[in-house]
């Protein structure tokens, strides 16, 4: 399945997938896609996001998306409709960018290796 196309369509037409368009429901949908792929779809995503924020990858990817988007909150989810809409859009932009970079058999390994090297003071 081409998840870049699927996620672009979900972003464009959330109601066609039974979603209300909220960040919380988009996170649940993406998590379901990851689960349906034996948790392999998003391997490297937390590390990739962490490198964008100078954070650690031990935080949930949904929280890291909010940090990258500048929408981090104490509750872990956007608190108003405008922030929620921005978070949902940021999620799909970031997923598309990540999936376009995580190509090939070693795509996720390369991202994780870069993350580790970055944390150890490498390039």
What average pLDDT score do residues 91-96 get? 98
Encoded tokens for 25: 């429901």
Q: What per-residue confidence (pLDDT) applies to 123? A: 53
Where helices occur in 1-123 by DSSP H, the ranges are 3-12, 23-35, 45-53, 61-68, 81-101, 107-119
Summarised one tens digit per residue, pLDDT across range 6-19 is: 999 999 999 999 99
Summarised one tens digit per residue, pLDDT across range 42-90 is: 999 999 999 998 789 998 999 999 999 998 766 677 778 999 999 999 9
52-65 burial code (b ≥16 CB/10 A, e <16): ebebebebebbbbb
Residue 40 has pLDDT above 70, yes or no: yes
User: What is the value of pTM for the model shown?
Assistant: 0.90
What average pLDDT score do residues 30-50 get? 97
- CA dist., res. 112 & res. 49, Å (int): 11
HSE of 6 in the Cβ direction (CA atoms, 13 Å)?
Answer: 12
């Amino acid at each position: 399945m081409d998840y870049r196309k699927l996620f672009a369509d979900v972003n464009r037409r959330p109601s066609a997938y039974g979603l209300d368009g909220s960040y919380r429901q988009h996170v649940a949908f993406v998590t379901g896609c990851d689960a349906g792929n034996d948790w392999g779809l998003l391997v490297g995503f937390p590390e990739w996001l962490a490198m964008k924020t100078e954070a650690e990858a031990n935080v949930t990817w949904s929280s890291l998306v909010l940090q990258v988007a500048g929408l981090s909150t104490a509750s872990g989810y956007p608190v108003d409709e405008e922030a929620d809409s921005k978070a949902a859009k940021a999620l799909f932009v970031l997923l598309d960018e990540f999936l376009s970079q995580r190509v090939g058999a070693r795509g996720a390994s390369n991202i994780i290796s870069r993350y580790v090297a970055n944390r150890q003071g490498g390039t």
